Amino acid sequence: MAGTNDFSIAIAKPGKTIVVEFAISKVIADWQLFELVGNQRKRSWDGRTDDNLADAVVIDPKSFVQGSSLGWTIVLYAPPGDIDVVVVVDVRQDGALLGKKEITVSLKSNKSQLVSGAIAIQ
């Protein structure tokens, strides 16, 4: 894994669901999670932080095939004025934390910025 925002998880209990959650402070953001098998996109999920839906994806781990990984992208929208935003991506299974990435992003006034990463599945 090459990116600074990448991390890996080991699925502990094959029968229990995986939850990938996005927590983004202070700003509106669009997020996308996608499953890759090799270089092929198998499926994807997306959301926006200012709606009434949870910023999380629930995945049945039995659906992963050998070589699956999860990629994620988040577009952060800055308000008027520069701001630091904390972005957290965490993966849980049956309540147990499998992996987490926390990033602080400095946004310039009224600009958007893309952050992305990958989650290797072992």
In a domain, 1, yes or no: no
Q: 19: Cβ–Cβ under 8 A, 6 or more apart, which residues?
A: 56, 57, 58, 59, 91, 92, 93
Q: What is the pLDDT of residues 43-59, one digit of tens each?
A: 999 999 999 999 999 99
Burial environment of residue 14 by CB neighbours within 10 A (0 to 12, 13 to 18, 19 or more): exposed
Domain that holds residue 73: 7-121
d(CA 32, CA 81): 26
In a domain, 2, yes or no: no
In a domain, 72, yes or no: yes
- CATH of residue 26: 2.60.60
Residue 1 pLDDT more than 80? no
The number of folded domains in the chain is 1
Kindly report the pTM of this predicted structure.
Answer: 0.92
In a domain, 95, yes or no: yes
Q: What is the pLDDT of residues 21-80, one digit of tens each?
A: 999 999 999 999 999 998 899 999 999 999 999 999 999 998 888 889 999 999 999 999
Q: What is the pLDDT of residues 102-118, one digit of tens each?
A: 999 999 999 999 999 99
